[in-house]
Structure 1
Amino acid sequence: MDHLFAKFATAISHATGSPLTFIVCVVAVVLWAIAGPFFGFSETWQLVINTGTTIITFLMVFLIQNTQNRDSAALQTKLDEIIRSSDAHDQFMGIETMTDKELEELHEKCEREAKRSQMMLEKTHAERRTRKSRKH
């Protein structure tokens, strides 16, 4: 059942994200708007578009969320494998399960390390420029 739903959700997500689907929806809204005067802009006329868009939106939320969850899990698994098989710090594996506070602390630590690395890089570039200017 899960596999079938995953295939269905992926197919629907791809189909609804296509330019053709967008054009079809725009045409449907334009036709609905054009039909307004013929129906006297009645409550029934308004109810048609409101009901249709509400139902589609309601169902799409679940399909998109399912697809997003699977894509996110796949991406996280790939990143974990890269971390595991490289010289990267293992502390980054599984960070998606950390609390917001723990994530913020890790983010701040990474920012500090990035600034330190940037300063070292700038220092190295400056030293190289100094050496080049002394040679000439």
Structure 2
Amino acid sequence: MFEKTFTNVANGVAYRSGLPTTFILCVALVVVWAVSGPIFGFSDTWQLVINTGTTIVTFLMVFLIQNTQNRDGAAMQAKLDELIRVTEAQNHFIGIEHLTETEVEEIRDKCEKAVKRHAMESASRQGRQNAEAQAAQELKKSFGKTAPANARKSSPAKSGRTSAKAGGAVR
């Protein structure tokens, strides 16, 4: 019961504290305080009012905002875990938010290395595909629009040599 009430209050305060109206009200309060300085003779009590008020509000807001951020972070993590679980992603990433900073950095380094390795493999694969496509174009030019059946099955890029029929020498 208390937890639900606290959650509702924390959500409401966190939401309202981020509104432009709240900011304008706070600025207006500071302006009223500053303008009232001459009335109170810029006394120690006058200064103590703003210092005490801002300290109390800041102290309470830290806990309310931290509570809201903790819940938002946990909810986001649960959603990401569910996406990882239902896709082809690696399930061992579920729960890594509970690891130490060093362990998370190690996982991040492994992921970055995997991305670089994948990019290199992808570029190599793309290069092979481009070479195969270029060889197929050359075959089409040599034989017209229809290449012989055996030329279609084994392209020069795959076999590593050029067909004598295609106008090149066998290596």
Q: Do Structure 1 and Structure 2 share a fold, with TM-score over 0.5?
A: yes
1:130–1:2 CA distance, 2 compared to 1 (3 A): same
Give the AA of the match of 1:102: E
Aligned residue in 1 for 2:38: 37
Alignment of 1:99-110 (within 5 A): 99-110=100-111
Q: Cα distance, 1:100 vs. partner?
A: 1.4
Give the AA of the match of 1:35: S
Aligned residue in 1 for 2:8: 7
Aligned residue in 2 for 1:115: 116
Give the AA of the match of 2:94: M
Give the AA of the match of 2:43: S
Structure possessing the higher radius of gyration over alpha carbons: 2
Give the TM-score normalised by the residue count of structure 1: 0.88
Aligned residue in 1 for 2:98: 97
Aligned residue in 1 for 2:54: 53
Q: Cα distance, 1:5 vs. partner?
A: 0.9
In structure 1, C-alpha distance between the alignment counterparts of 2:47 and 2:61, rounded to whole Å? 21
1:102–1:42 CA distance, 2 compared to 1 (3 A): same
State the identity as a percent. 52
Q: Cα distance, 1:126 vs. partner?
A: 5.7
Aligned residue in 1 for 2:87: 86
> Secondary structure, in 3 states, of the residue corresponding to 1:38?
coil
1:25–1:132 CA distance, 2 compared to 1 (3 A): farther
Higher RCO (CA-CA < 8 Å; seq separation 6+): 1
Aligned residue in 1 for 2:29: 28
Give the AA of the match of 1:76: Q
Deviation string 1:33-78 (CA, Å, 9 cap, x unpaired) is 1111222211111101100000000000110011011101100000
In structure 2, C-alpha distance between the alignment counterparts of 1:110 and 1:93, rounded to whole Å? 14
Give the AA of the match of 1:79: L
Give the TM-score normalised by the residue count of structure 2: 0.71
In structure 1, C-alpha distance between the alignment counterparts of 2:8 and 2:55, rounded to whole Å? 24
Higher helix share: 1
Query: What is the count of residue pairs matched by the alignment?
Result: 136
